Structure formats: structure tokens, C-alpha cells
Amino acid sequence: MLGAALAAGLAAGALAASAAVTPATAAGPELIDNGGFSSGTTPWWWTENIPSTVVDGRLCADVPAGTTNPWDAIIGQDGIPLAAGESYALSFTASATTPITIRTNVQLAVDPWTTELASPDAIGATPTTVSHVFTAGADNDAAQLAFQIGGSDAAYTFCLDDVSLTGGAEPPVYEPDTGSPVRVNQVGYLTEGPKSGTVVTDATTARTWTLHDADGTEVATGSTVPQGVDPTSEQNVHTFDFSSVTEPGDGYTVTVDGETSEPFTIGDGIYDGLRDDALAFFYHQRSGIEIDADLVGEEYARPAGHANAAPNQGDDNVPCWQDRCDYTLDAAGGWYDAGDHGKYVVNGGISVAQLLSAYERDSAELGDSTLAVPERGNGVPDLLDEARWELDFLTSMQVPAGEELAGMAHHKLHDAQWTGLPTMPWEDPQPRELHPPSTAATLNLAAAAAQGARLFEEYDAAYAAELLTAAETAWDAAIAHPAVLADPTDGTGGGAYSDGNVSDEFFWAASELFITTGAAEYRQAVTGSELWNDTAALFPNGGFSWGSTAALGALDLATVDNGLTAGELATVRANVTDAADGFAAQAEQQAYGLPYLPDDYAYVWGSNSQVLNNMVVLAAAHDLTGDTEYRDAVLTGLDYILGRNPLNLSYVTGYGERDVENQHHRFWANQLDASLPHPPAGSLAGGPDSSLEDPVAQDTLGGCAPAMCYMDHIESYSTNEVTINWNAPLAWIAAYADGLGGDDGGEDPDDPDDPDDPDDPDDPDDPAACEVSYVSNRWSGGFSTQVTVRNTGDTAISAWELAWSFDDAQRITNHWNSVITQSGRDVTARPAAWNGTIQPGSSVNFGFNGTVSGAAADPDAFTLNGGACDTA
Ligand code: 9MR
């Protein structure tokens, strides 16, 4: 939920600058003539389809039904003088008998109608006062104020009053609502993980912090540590640390000097839902398929987009932009990139690769029937099903054999012109166009398809072979055309995603092809690369990204079985840990604990994904070494993403008390049209972008400190969009964090107290003596099984995990009383919500049904929390 004050600001219909900017007037003269209509209608004008009159002191117009565009009905005033660089405040009061989002423009009065202010404003039946502040970009002796009120299906009456435009002063300073100065991870903290927060205060000496539980009982107290002025926020801050508290519970708060944080949880399951929601984002973004209410709920269900039903022009027969080729491609499917309806091979590659890597890292946790996707229960892990949706799109973008540039991939496919917000994917009438092939896209395809090939091998060998062929064909084409770069100015109707350096894409693709095939050609391309053993090039400061992909190859070489020699493996692993050391130091150094410190504090477009990608490097280093300092930096990074930050916002919808909810999206556009949904839970906002790269950010955030250059506003696409390549590392990290539970996630042989040591007699979670009864009823092609697990020891067993392997092809299709995941022949059963602890002498029962072809046998070996059980 959004903080009450912030929500109130937005609900006032005061979009854009008005949400938190005061005052609503700017110093300078009134520039509107007769804004209160006390002297009739002069000098106001209107389009001839809406004759307007003054009624009860307001100017009212009857707008007919069925106009198409906002500008098909306008009320306006001309002759408004504006001076470049000066600040103006516009306000007005309006009502509409049928709710409508109008366009309020201050603009050039002639073609090309360049706007100084262009705001969608929601107007309803009750007169609402709307305010905007903007800074003029150009001198204009006679600008136009235009209320564009067309585009409604229904006829309605629009009334206007108290129109005021004042200005000519310095732009006001934006004052975001940041709520409490005490900043915490609003979701919570893992039981055994680090627990720290930040407080904004003028104090220069230590203050007392107090941790309370949900009942208000004081649980712990201590002293803050003054940190001086944090350069990313320009706030004077202290930090506090309550890591010693390990008592699970909801509703904890921290208080400093009478100011109290948002509530949070301490516990081990806090990241369970985040992983699944972050992964569900990809199903929501699917193109070419109906989004099923049974899987996402009514609010998010929708018809298939770009599936060839009018007015869509379909993605199954897409021609080349500017007639640059004479073939068409069937490129239906795939994921929409972001809030737009473009589909980009470059960005698709890294996104699908990071999902595949989440699966490859922990396939046992991410088997079939773990996600809400239509393919659930088909015997293939759901994450692979989701990845296949995109892999099929990537391979469909390959230039056909026999054509010039055969084997290369088209860079992207998108609308001929940008569409406005909202535009439903199934209502987008724009022509769709293939943009020219590029080496970067070709290598994205090669890398992602090579990785997919090795992961699909177990489930669909024919498909795996197809992927490998596509990958090898793409590689050969990239070698033949190593420097075909996308045009950085090709950004009409879709993003450019241009990339002037593809040595990193070569390294990544060679790494994946080598891991999958072991072939000498790819080994040579990896170890002979100029990037080999160059930590700074593989892992640039500021993080890897869609334009810097070598890290994806290095991470997989370091963590996935492959044919490098021991010495080479040591080299690439050292690159990972060296990079992670740098990011851990950045987390340690910063008052907000995040492992991201770009040069000159320049937070980039999508900075939250850069934070997360650095966390991926840290998590890999933790996996490789078991060193908890890496884990801690990942977790303090999550704290930043989920609320411990200069704006006191959780950047993930649905998580935390002050979560963002107005990300730039053409369907999840509730801020513009209340009948549309907000983004679904688990959607990551791009985050602060200190370069201010959209008009709303430019008009509002001028002078912002880098980590505060963000607005939860739907039109601020450079700070507040969603994209597949940002949610992918969120999903990766959520899976990692969920897997940590309350310990360090790996057995440390040097640590006698390691909770992962199954022989630690002091650890109540270590496997106790147990006995398993496993009884199956079988019929041709199927079975139904009941399992009983009894605790035969004398200590309670909590968070139990029973694991076994089938000797044959049995597939579990549904289950009850436990959560079951299956990866190949390996099965793990975990507690349902109500049977997490098995007391001494007690049992839990659970069951499942499944299918099998051919012979089937009951397993006869089981482990409980890592130790062997007896069989009954
Ligand atoms: O994420 C991209 C960011 O790194 C670039 O700086 C920016 C401008 O080129 O584009 C971003 O990608 C957008 C893409 O071009 C179009 N779809 C939405 C993407 C996220 O905003």
C-alpha cells in the first residue's frame, strides 16, 4: 500500500508535478484572461462540435459521444507568453458527468504543437482541482492552453472553472513525501541474516534506537552510528543494527527519537511469495496468448495481444521496416519488453538467460507445478516452459536460410509509431515491423539458445537439438558479420537498444556454447577473448546489463559444470569473487547498504536492476565460497530495494507498506483509467535515474540527489517503467534469498556450528530419527500414493524436507498436505502451511497422484533434512 499522504496526493487527480509540489502558484503575473468566467466566455475558444456556455459561473460544454481522439474536442485559450527556463503553475477545477481522462496541454499554438506541459488528468463527476508545475523549455510569445476533452464513447458534460496560470520564477524544489525518517526493509529480515536500517536525522551524535514487537513490547535497544551526509541522497543519516534479534514475528518496528519505521517481519519464509510473483510477471507479459483468469485472476486476465485479431495487425507475418527485406517472419509469441509492446531480441536474451540461470542454480526448487503458467503439470519445469515462450520468439527472429545475413537475428520488432497510454495490447492498431539484424541480437540468441539446449535436454531432446542448431547457426553468422551494429537513432515506435561494443556478447555466447558442447572453437573464443581474466571488463562497476553481458558467461563458467581446466576454472572464479569483493565493499561503505556505487553517483535508467545484478554476482560468490559477507551484501541490497532507501519506498509492487504502484505500462494503467489494474504484485520499478530522461522527471525532479531521482508516476518512463530484464534478476535474487532460509545456505566444513552440518547435535533442525511409510495404488499409466513420515527421535523436527528419487519415469501431477517439487527423477516434499513441525513420536501424512509410462516401483530410500530415514 502506498503511504496515506502520498496516496492522497495522487488521488487528488494531481498527477505529474502536483503530487507533492507546493505551492500551486508560481511567483509572477496571472497569464490567463477571464479564468473564472466572470466576464462571459471571451477570450476562450472551443471546437465547433462542443458549443460552450457559462452555467452557474462555470464554462460548460456538451461533448458528443463517439469522438476518437482527445483532440477531437478542445476548449482553449491562446496568446500566453512563456519564457524559457522559467517556472509556471497551472491550476483549474473541472468536472465531467462521465469520468474521463482529459489531456491538459500548454503548447505551441501551431503545428508541430510542441508541448511544455502535457498531462493526462482524470476528471470525475465531483469538481476536482488539478494543479501542475512546469518549466518552459522555449520562449513563446503566444503559447496555447488546450483542454483536450474528446475520445469518450459516451456523451457527457464537461465544466471548467478557476483556470489560473502564473509564473516566471525559479523552478520550485520538489519535496517528495518520504514518510518516516526511519528506513527498514518493509518486507522483513531473515532470522539469521543481517538486520540493519538507516535513519535520517539532523543529529550528529548517536541516538537511541528501540525495536518493538507487534504488541509494542520493547525487544531490543541500542545506539545509532552517525554516518554523516550520504552523497547519494544528500541526507544526514545514521545506521542501526539489530542483527542479534532472531525471534520470528510480524509487526516489528524500530523507533528513533519518537519516529517509527514501517512494520516488518523477522522470519525465514519472507521471500517465498516474492520469487513466485517476480516470475509470474513473465506470464503476464506474454504476447500472442490469452492471459487466463484462472492463473492470474479476473483483474489481470486479457485477450491475446498481437495475435492477428483486428485491430491488431498480428505478429505472425511481420515485414521489414522501410522495406529493407523482401520476406516476412512469423514472430508471434514472446514477452512484451516492458510498458510498451515492443519485442527485442537483445533485451529478451539477457532476460531469458537470467531465468534459465535461476533454474540451473536450483532446479530442484523450480520444477513442474511450481508456477501459475498454462503448461503447469506437463512434466516440464514451469520455469523452462516460461523460458520456452521467449526462446521460441528469439529463434523466430532469425534471418531465413538463403537470405542475405542468413542466421543473424533481427534486432527487434515493434510498432511503427509510439502508442499513447493506455493502449491495450489487443487493441494496438499499429503496423508491426522488423528492424535490421544486428550482431548483438544474433549473439543474444546464440547464448540464450545454447543455455536452453542443455537445460531442455532432459525433457525434450528434439527441442534441445533445435535450440542448439539455432545457437550454432547464429554464432557462425555473428563470426561472419562481427560488427553489424543497431542504429542508436532507430527509436520511433520502440526503444533503440543500440550497443556499440559487442565483445561482451561474443564472450557470453562463446561461454554458453562451450558449457553446452565442450567444443574447442568455443573454448578458444572464451579463453582467447580480450575479456578473459579481466575482472573490470567482465564485471563493470555499476553492474552488468543488457548492454554489458560478459558477466553472464563468466558467472555460468564459474558455477555450471564445464570443460575448463582446474586452473582456468580458478581464474574465472577469482574474477567473480574479486568483483563481489568490490560490490560487498560498496554495500559496507554506504549508509543505505546497497552494493551499487556508480562512478560520479550517476544512477542509470533501470538502476534497481543494476543493484540486483550486482547482488547476483555477490550471491554467486557466496555459492562458490560459503563466505557470509557476500550473502550479507545481497541481503542489505534487498533491504534497499524493499524500503531501506532515501525515498522510503519499496520498489516492488505488493511488497511493503509503501510500495510503488504506478509503473509505466499500457495495460496496468490504473493511474490513468481506474477501470484498469495497477501492476501485479512482484513488478519491479526501474528506480532512480539521475539523468532525468523523461519530461515528467525533467519538469519535476530538477536538482534531485541521485538516489532520489524517482517518481511513482506512470508517465515517468525513465524512472518508473517495468521490464523483463529488470524482473529477471529480481526473480533470481528472490529465489536465492528464499533458499537461504535462516542459515547461510551451504555447509561450511570449517564451521563446527554451521546449521547446515547434518551432524550438529545442538541444532534442532538437523535430521532426527525418522521412519517413512510409502504406499502406492497403481493402475495402467497412473498411481496414487500416501506417505507417512514419523519422528522417531526425541526432538521436534521443523521445516522438514523429505527427498527421494524415482528409478523410473513417474511424474507427480497433483499433491495434497505438502508442497512437492519434482526435477527429473528427484522429488522433494515440504510442509504445507499447517504441518511444518513433526513432534517426537508424531507423524505427518501427505499424498499425491501421478502418471507413468511403463514399469514403476516405489522408492525405497528417503532423506529427511539431509539424513537417511528408515522405511516402514
Ligand atoms: O532499459 C533501457 C535503458 O538501459 C536505456 O537507457 C533506455 C534508453 O535507451 O532504454 C531502456 O529500455 C527501454 C526500451 O528502450 C523500450 N522498452 C522499455 C525499456 C525500459 O524503459
Query: pLDDT digit string (tens) for 582-620?
Result: 999 999 999 999 999 999 999 999 999 999 999 999 999
> Which residue's alpha carbon is at the smallest distance from atom 12 of ligand 1?
495
Cell reading at 814: 497433483
Range 207-224 average pLDDT: 98
Q: Is 414 a catalytic residue?
A: no
Range 246-252 average pLDDT: 97
> Measured from the CB, is residue 335 less than 6 Å from ligand 1?
no
Range 824-836 average pLDDT: 81
Gap from CA of 562 to ligand 1 centroid (Å): 34
Range 235-257 average pLDDT: 98
> Measured from the CB, is residue 336 less than 6 Å from ligand 1?
no
Q: Is the pLDDT of residue 862 over 80?
A: yes
Determine the Cα angle at 662 with ends 659 and 667, to 5°.
130
> Measured from the CB, is residue 496 less than 6 Å from ligand 1?
yes
> Measured from the CB, is residue 415 less than 6 Å from ligand 1?
no
Task: For residue 206, name the pLDDT band (cuts at 50, 70, 90).
Answer: very high
Gap from CA of 286 to ligand 1 centroid (Å): 19
Sign for the CA dihedral angle at 372, 374, 379, 384 comes to negative
The pLDDT score that the predictor gives to residue 171 is 57
Counting ligand 1 atoms within 8 A of each CB, the residue from 664, 715, 722, 723 with the most, and so the one to mutate, is 723
| Ligand 1 nearest-atom number relative to CA 496 | 15
Gap from CA of 648 to ligand 1 centroid (Å): 25
The pLDDT score that the predictor gives to residue 25 is 55
pLDDT > 70: percent of the chain: 93
710-762 per-position pLDDT tens digit: 999 999 999 999 999 999 999 999 999 999 974 433 444 334 344 444 444 33
Catalytic residue among 721, 743, 744, 765: 721
Q: Is 721 a catalytic residue?
A: yes
The pLDDT score that the predictor gives to residue 169 is 62
769-815 per-position pLDDT tens digit: 899 999 888 888 888 898 999 999 888 888 889 999 988 888 888 88
Task: For residue 764, name the pLDDT band (cuts at 50, 70, 90).
Answer: very low
Range 318-331 average pLDDT: 98
> Which residue's alpha carbon is at the smallest distance from atom 8 of ligand 1?
495
The pLDDT score that the predictor gives to residue 856 is 83
How far apart CA 701 and CA 552 sit, in angstroms, is 34
The pLDDT score that the predictor gives to residue 8 is 31
Q: Is the pLDDT of residue 693 over 90?
A: yes
| Ligand 1 nearest-atom number relative to CA 494 | 16
358-377 per-position pLDDT tens digit: 999 999 999 999 999 999 99
How far apart CA 245 and CA 247 sit, in angstroms, is 6
376-401 per-position pLDDT tens digit: 999 999 999 999 999 999 999 999 99
The pLDDT score that the predictor gives to residue 615 is 98
How far apart CA 787 and CA 315 sit, in angstroms, is 49
Q: What is the 3-state secondary structure (H, E, C) of 462-489?
A: HHHHHHHHHHHHHHHHHHHCCCCCCCCC
How far apart CA 139 and CA 82 sit, in angstroms, is 6
SS3 content of the chain, % helix, strand, coil (to 5): 30, 25, 45
Catalytic residue among 284, 435, 664, 713: 664
Gap from CA of 814 to ligand 1 centroid (Å): 41
Q: Is the pLDDT of residue 689 over 80?
A: yes
Gap from CA of 543 to ligand 1 centroid (Å): 16
> Which residue's alpha carbon is at the smallest distance from atom 19 of ligand 1?
338
The pLDDT score that the predictor gives to residue 851 is 86
> Measured from the CB, is residue 495 less than 6 Å from ligand 1?
yes
Range 498-506 average pLDDT: 98
Gap from CA of 142 to ligand 1 centroid (Å): 35
Counting ligand 1 atoms within 8 A of each CB, the residue from 344, 345, 497 with the most, and so the one to mutate, is 497
> Measured from the CB, is residue 342 less than 6 Å from ligand 1?
yes
Catalytic residue among 177, 276, 315, 340: 340
> Measured from the CB, is residue 605 less than 6 Å from ligand 1?
yes
How far apart CA 6 and CA 128 sit, in angstroms, is 17
> Measured from the CB, is residue 862 less than 6 Å from ligand 1?
no
| Ligand 1 nearest-atom number relative to CA 547 | 4
Average pLDDT, the chain: 91
The pLDDT score that the predictor gives to residue 26 is 64
Q: Is 712 a catalytic residue?
A: yes
140-162 per-position pLDDT tens digit: 989 999 999 999 999 999 999 99
The pLDDT score that the predictor gives to residue 753 is 41
Catalytic residue among 276, 623, 712, 743: 712
Task: For residue 174, name the pLDDT band (cuts at 50, 70, 90).
Answer: confident
The pLDDT score that the predictor gives to residue 769 is 85
Counting ligand 1 atoms within 8 A of each CB, the residue from 281, 335, 605 with the most, and so the one to mutate, is 605
The pLDDT score that the predictor gives to residue 172 is 64
How far apart CA 454 and CA 450 sit, in angstroms, is 7
Gap from CA of 593 to ligand 1 centroid (Å): 26
The pLDDT score that the predictor gives to residue 833 is 67
The pLDDT score that the predictor gives to residue 755 is 42
Cell reading at 576: 567473480
> Measured from the CB, is residue 717 less than 6 Å from ligand 1?
yes
How far apart CA 443 and CA 508 sit, in angstroms, is 8
Q: Is the pLDDT of residue 17 over 60?
A: no
- State the residue for C-alpha cell 510569445: 141
pTM, whole model, 2 decimals?
0.73
**468 — phi, psi (to 5°)?**
-65, -40
Gap from CA of 717 to ligand 1 centroid (Å): 9
**308 — phi, psi (to 5°)?**
85, 10
Range 186-203 average pLDDT: 98
| Ligand 1 nearest-atom number relative to CA 609 | 1
How far apart CA 543 and CA 267 sit, in angstroms, is 30
Range 3-20 average pLDDT: 32
> Measured from the CB, is residue 418 less than 6 Å from ligand 1?
no
Gap from CA of 343 to ligand 1 centroid (Å): 12
> Which residue's alpha carbon is at the smallest distance from atom 14 of ligand 1?
495
462-478 per-position pLDDT tens digit: 999 999 999 999 999 99
| Ligand 1 nearest-atom number relative to CA 721 | 21
Gap from CA of 548 to ligand 1 centroid (Å): 14
Contact 665/339 with Cβ under 8 angstroms? yes
The pLDDT score that the predictor gives to residue 838 is 87
Gap from CA of 494 to ligand 1 centroid (Å): 9
